[in-house]
Structure 1
Amino acid sequence: MQKEKYITILSNGTKQVLNVSTILYVLMIEKTAEIHVSGGKVYETRTTLKELETELGDGFLKVHRGCLVSAMAIHNITDHINLNNGESLIYTLRKKNQIIAQFQEAQKCLISGFTREGIPETEKEYRAHYRSFDAMPFAFADIEMVFDEESRAVDWIFRYGNPALAKLEKLPLEKLMGSSFGSLFSNMDAKWLRLYERAALYGETLEVMEFSPEIDAWLKVICFPTFKGHCGCILFDITEIAFTKISSDAENALMRYFGRLPETDGQL
């Protein structure tokens, strides 16, 4: 992983030390810079975009004269710059090709920095590393992302899976391990690629509830970075999950999580 980098700013009279890897983008509002970081917080500081551009370094793209965007925060570039957190930003359209090239170069540099150091070499070594997951009641997999020549995620390879994964995928482990998802399922949905790419490349921990046409099931998936270029995936068949309240705080927690109260089994 790259060495952590920090910048120090003065925001609302208070000195703030920001981890550059958490900064999504910077917007200039007259002489004030709005620094947007992961988690939704915004820091305001009096500085110039040029000064921040120098401090933040090559990992940030200048997409118009008042905006810097972290290459790590970008999901894709269409008529807007679409960020991993769901936000969209405008950019100078006449520079579209230049901005896309810069983004692709930044991603290539990230991928080229991957090494095999510390990564298991064989299926036996993967099984030894993840042996504590063998008896878990939920499906778990370690997957290695596959990238094309333009550094886009196009598939993934199963490097470890537990028996619960084989049950969920409806395939034996010996067929899953070492195989790419695309070679096993002809109807692969690209939405999973984007999710796993974010975890593997940018170190995000993400959760999603989506329908999987490949196995005809609604899934809850939690993915997180493991080895370089890999991510771990915990998968639940939603139909097998029952909600239950165990304390008076449960409703507040559920509201924060879902934005509403799901049906429960009535247990306390």
Structure 2
Amino acid sequence: MDKKIQKFFTKHHITETDIKYIIRRDGKTCICLDDGRIVETYTPLKTIITEMTPDHFINVNKGIALASDKIASIHDDQYMMQDGNHFKGRARMPMLYRFEQERRFNSTEMVNGSSDLINAFSVLDRMPIPFCVIELLYDNTGNSIDFRFRYANEAMTDLQSLSREQLLNESFYNIFRNGDRKWLVAYADVALNGGSRIFRDYSPEINKELMIYCYQPSEGYCACAFLEEPEDPAPSSQS
């Protein structure tokens, strides 16, 4: 961490995990903490975020960065925080798309994967890098609550130790019932707001450290490529 920022954090007893969100207000950067304090500085928000753990914070709009592990849900373009506050994201999901999501989620019929989507990515079927496309699922109030696998190549099924039939059209939290909700927040941000993200995290579901590369192939979808982090080599013993 930059020495100037580290000194500022130490002076005000701030740790990264204590931060709920960082916002720009009246020309200042306001760091909002779990204990209710708001610490102000003239240091640009982007400068502070750059010094944080990669992808711990999500820039949902100009001058607004939210801690991903403190987001409770995403409702349309509103990011609801665990403390009850909410922030407007960059993009607004079209109402027709939202209603289509609700219809699909509430339907009792099995929804077949999009043939167009499968055909578009079929050239990656035998690519040796795990790759999938997921679709956000919403409840009847518009809250993103899960995501469904719409495409998975052979390497992805090997990574998850599941067949393609077991993955496709199944929801993540139906397969992994104790899955971490932070995955939903990260993927939802890309699926709704576009752009791309790269983040590193440990997946307890498959017991692996992963580098995950995400982008938005179409509104409401997130495409992901997974690279396993190499294990640290065992220390060599010298005689």
Q: TM-score, normalised to structure 2's length?
A: 0.56
Paired residue secondary structure (2:188): helix
Aligned to 2:75: none
Task: Report 1:63-74 matches (<5 A).
Answer: 70=61, 73=64
Matched AA of 2:26: M
Paired residue secondary structure (1:137): coil
CA distance, structure 2, for counterparts of residue 229 and residue 29 of structure 1: 34
2:159 to 161, 168, 191: 168
Aligned to 2:137: 146
Aligned to 2:12: none
Describe the superposition over 1:146-181 as per-residue Cα deviations: whole angstroms up to 9, x where unpaired: 123454332100001100000001100011111111
Paired residue secondary structure (1:114): helix
* Distance change (3 Å), C-alpha of 1:240 and 1:179: farther
Matched AA of 1:110: M
2:197 to 181, 198, 206: 206
More RCO (CA 8 Å, sep 6+): 2
Paired residue secondary structure (1:199): helix
Aligned to 2:95: 112
Aligned to 1:28: 26
**CA root-mean-square deviation:** 4.1
CA distance, structure 1, for counterparts of residue 223 and residue 206 of structure 2: 19
CA distance, structure 1, for counterparts of residue 179 and residue 172 of structure 2: 8
CA distance, structure 2, for counterparts of residue 241 and residue 129 of structure 1: 37
Aligned to 1:124: 115
**Further displaced range: 188-197 or 146-155:** 146-155
Task: Report 1:1-268 matches (<5 A).
Answer: 26-29=24-27, 70=61, 73=64, 75=66, 100=86, 103=87, 109-110=92-93, 112=95, 114=97, 122-239=113-230
Displacement of 1:226 = 1.3
CA distance, structure 2, for counterparts of residue 141 and residue 163 of structure 1: 10
* Distance change (3 Å), C-alpha of 1:124 and 1:113: closer
* Distance change (3 Å), C-alpha of 1:228 and 1:213: same
**Percent of matched pairs sharing the same residue:** 25
- Report if aligned partners of 2:202, 2:210 keep a CA contact under 8 Å in 1: yes
Q: Give unmatched runs, 5+ long, in structure 1.
A: 1-23, 42-68, 83-95, 243-268
- Report if aligned partners of 1:108, 1:151 keep a CA contact under 8 Å in 2: no
Displacement of 1:239 = 3.1
CA distance, structure 2, for counterparts of residue 232 and residue 213 of structure 1: 21
Q: Give unmatched runs, 5+ long, in structure 2.
A: 1-21, 29-41, 50-59, 73-82, 101-111, 234-239
